[in-house]
Structure 1
Amino acid sequence: MRALVLTTLVLSAPALAAQPSAEYVPAPAKDVPSYSETVFPCEAVSGWKTGSGSFISEKEYDEGKLNFDPSMVEASTYVQCSGAPHLETLSLRELSLLRNTIFARYGWAGFRKPWLREHFQRQPWYKPDPEFSLRRLSWVDEKNVRLIVQAEMSLRYSDLERMRNKLLAKVTKRDAQGSGTPDLDALSPEDRIELGLISRAMGEFAVDEGQRTQAANSLDEVLKVKDLRQLSLRDLRLLRNTIYARRGRPFKSPLLQEHFQHMPWYKADKGYSDARLTATDKRNIALITQVEKEFGGALKDQDFRVANPSQAGDVNPPEPMMVA
């Protein structure tokens, strides 16, 4: 997911123009909170997270500085920052806002998620433009998007589980024996969104602001089209393949392999066949496919890694930007 963490660009508008409007002038950078004209002081580092939450880089291991068995924990790429914004400490909601602020500054108006759309509509600097193009972004913007996405993708199931437990603890009243049930109605609007993002990143179904944010078995129910229409094409592809993954389907796509291999519940089975799908599975796959077609069709790996909320062919940067 994974990876992926994560949190999301949406593709709700009709096909947008490939060429940027010559008249469009983005808001001054100083007027856009959290927007940076310089590359974030962060870097992507390969290595391992241990059970204690500490990080061991491949460089440290190669230099023999640490007595560590890398076979015990899967190596991944993480983001480390030497100054603000400390991407590795932000919530999924905060990362999503930070990433989408970059696109919003240049006029992206296709936000399908209500909370994102409403957030930017409230900003005095925001000027939506139906002729938005990714070509408006600078190389600094592209680099920062990649860093944000990498931070989202860096989160593993154990990280997400820890984040979710911390969130639920805020609305859980414990009895003398230390047990208790979280009161989801007591969550703040921001925490409700965060819980929805976390749940979906863990392989469950959730809309960001809905009441079903903690329904672990919700994929065993027929999904609602109105809920699916609030998700990005990236969300929809992952959700559709989550249904297959739950039944043990192996994936040829490197992106899907990376996403699901971090899920403790995923067990790839070479003997998999679609005969394992239930009637509800098949119905949900059909509904998700229907919504994907409404918004331009399912993403492929090469589209999935282009940080472009309009069309994947809008630009062709030398290094594809990954989208969460």
Structure 2
Amino acid sequence: MIEVMHPGMMTTVQDQGRSGYRCWGIPLGGAMDPVALQLANWLVGNDGALAGLEMTLRGPRLRFTVDTLIALTGADLEAMLDGLPLSNGRAIGVKAGQVLSFGRCRRGCRGYLAVAGGITVPLVWDSRSTDVRAHLGGFAGRALQAGDQVPIDAIADSIRERWKRACPRCDGSGGLTWYVTESAPATKTTGTIVTVRALRGRWFSRLTPAAQGRCWEQAWQITAAADRMGYRLQGEALAWREPVEMISEGVAVGAMQVPPDGQPIVLLADSQTTGGYPVVANVATIDRSKLAQCKPGDVVQLQEVTLEEAQAAYRQQAQKLALLKQAIGWRWANERR
């Protein structure tokens, strides 16, 4: 078990989401930065689809009741184990009774904690992800609270054996000396503009010529109205050639809707499956993780790409991740010698 001593700002159980149920009106859900969670799982020897914890801006304080392995990825939330600093991107041995805590958010927005064997809350619609708005899945359908006892896979014996073999190559914090370097989404610095690739939406041509250009050329600021459902952007309003009237239609994660005030909303992991605002663009899947690591006040700029370009970039990323998974597996195999 993991005992929650303090819940942090917004800590939820997440996996890779409820794929295949949007036709029934059930959001995809899952990790806002699915690549970061996948990587954390690989680092502790898990399948990439297992559930972990997603921590937003301010991490929790957790006590472990069994020996296990953990890994942290995504945002740098100034992690400490019994007061000793930990770094992201490596496997770390934790003993029963040790406390994992977090300080300030130094970069990024969402951090991920994977535990060997995964978090074993019940499956709901083939997923352990938490949908807070629907009170669905995760730990009682809500964010974690102080006093919660989060179940993890009971594989303490195999974990102890694995760590015993690896321990001679550990650093002072109990982490393996080898690590993976994470990519840009969680390492952006304050004041920079984050470029996010996007495709034209089906209503794009109904914008005025000036608004079409502004969609790509303007830097958009993420407002305080930002959560797992979507980010509201602020900039010079987008205008239509003529009034747009439409009935609700299906929307995808990453869709950029334009409500009557002309200030776009980008739909994210917990977004609804249909919407009544016209969609003028769609964030490419490959950059959804990058967007998820942005927080209110950050500035983003959309870069137009074609469907073919987005697909090619996604395939390239998939190939790199496959090689990374293979390399992590090889390093773990080496630890067993």
Both structures adopt the same fold (TM-score exceeding 0.5)? no
Under a length normalisation based on structure 2, what TM-score does the superposition of the two structures give? 0.26
Q: Which has the higher helix share?
A: 1
Q: Which has the higher strand share?
A: 2
Choose between structure 1 and 2 for higher RCO, CA contacts under 8 A separated by at least 6 residues: 1
